Amino acid sequence: GQQVMQIPQYQHVQEGEDFTTYCNSSTTLSNIQWYKQRPGGHPVFLIQLVKSGEVKKQKRLTFQFGEAKKNSSLHITATQTTDVGTYFCAMDSNYQLIWGAGTKLIIKP
Amino acid sequence: EPEVTQTPSHQVTQMGQEVILRCVPISNHLYFYWYRQILGQKVEFLVSFYNNEISEKSEIFDDQFSVERPDGSNFTLKIRSTKLEDSAMYFCASSEELRNEKLFFGSGTQLSVL
C-alpha cells in the first residue's frame, strides 16, 4: 500500500535552534496535512497543503509542499519549549489518511 | 471551542472480554473516525463513518470490531473479544465537511488488555 516516509525519527535541539522534519511519498499526493501531538496528548491539526510548491507560514512554523507534490517539510525557527512534541504528516490515500511515523522534537536541557 | 469528547479515558479489561469505547463528535461534523496508536508510535486508521454507515475500514478493523451511532450524538467502537495486542490508545476524530481533511481528535481512551 501507499506509504509516506518521515524523517528523522527524533531531533534533539537546544532551545532557540531550528527544527525540520521531512515527508516523502513515492506517488503524487493530492494534499498533505500536518499534525502536532504533545506528550500524552492527541494529534492537533496544524495545516493542509494542496498546491504544488505551496509555502505556508504560521508564526515560526513554515510548511512546504514540493513542486512534484511528492514531498513536504515543516521547519520551526528558534524552537521554544512549547514546540516539544511529535509532528506527523498525513496523506489521503485510498480514502484513508496514511500517517508518517512522526518526528519527535526534544529540547535539550 | 467545540471539541470531541471520549470516555472513558482509561479502560482495563481481561483478554476475551468485550469493550465499548465512547465518543461524542463535534455536533455539526459529518465524518467520524477511529484511530489507534500504540505507545506513541504511528497513528493507525481503523474506520471512517459517514451518513450512518462505514465508508472505509482498514485491515485492522476485522470482525472483532464494530462501530455504531446509536443516537444523534454518540459514536461507539466495540471490540467483541479483546486480545493482548489490542492494547493501545484509541482516538476518535471528526471532520466537518470533507472526508479526511482537518480532523479534530478527542483525548483518547487508553485500553489495556490483561
Report pLDDT for B41.
86
Q: Is residue B78 part of a domain?
A: yes
Q: Is the dihedral of CA B94, A86, A92, B43 positive or negative?
A: negative
Q: Which domain holds residue A13?
A: 4-94+103-107
Report pLDDT for B72.
79
CB contact under 8 A, B48 and A95: yes
pLDDT band at B40 (very low <50, low <70, confident <90, very high): confident
Smallest CA-to-CA distance from B65 within B54, B76, B55, B79 is with: B79
End-to-end CA distance of chain A: 40
Q: Is residue B12 part of a domain?
A: no
Q: How many helices (H) and strands (E) does chain A have?
A: 0, 11
State how far residue A51 is from chain B, nearest Cα, in angstroms.
15
User: What confidence tens digit (pLDDT) does each residue in B10-33 have?
Assistant: 999 999 999 999 999 999 999 999
CB contact under 8 A, A97 and B45: yes
Report pLDDT for A102.
96
Q: Is residue B50 part of a domain?
A: yes
CB contact under 8 A, B104 and A45: yes
Given a cut of 70, whether residue B101 has pLDDT beyond it is yes
Q: Which domain holds residue B2?
A: 1-6+19-94
Q: Is the dihedral of CA B75, B55, A100, B44 positive or negative?
A: positive
pLDDT band at B70 (very low <50, low <70, confident <90, very high): confident
Domains held by chain B: number: 1
Q: Three cell numbers at B91?
A: 482516538
CB proximity A9 to B under 8 Å: no
Q: Is residue B29 part of a domain?
A: yes
CATH number for B45: 2.60.40.10
Q: DSSP string covering B55-73, please?
A: EEE-TT--TTEEEE--SSS
Average pLDDT in chain B? 94
Report pLDDT for A1.
66
User: Which residues in chain B have Cβ-Cβ distances shorter than 8 Å to A45?
Assistant: 102-104
Question: Which of B12-16, B36-40, B85-89 is the least confident region?
Answer: B36-40
Higher pLDDT, A1 or B42: B42
CB nearest to A45's CB, from B44, B102, B106: B102
Domains held by chain A: number: 1
Q: Are strands B19-24 and B5-7 parallel, antiparallel or unpaired?
A: antiparallel
- Along the 109 residues of chain A, how does pLDDT read in single tens digits? 678 999 999 999 999 999 999 999 989 999 999 999 999 999 999 999 999 999 999 999 999 999 999 999 999 999 999 999 999 999 987 678 899 999 999 999 8
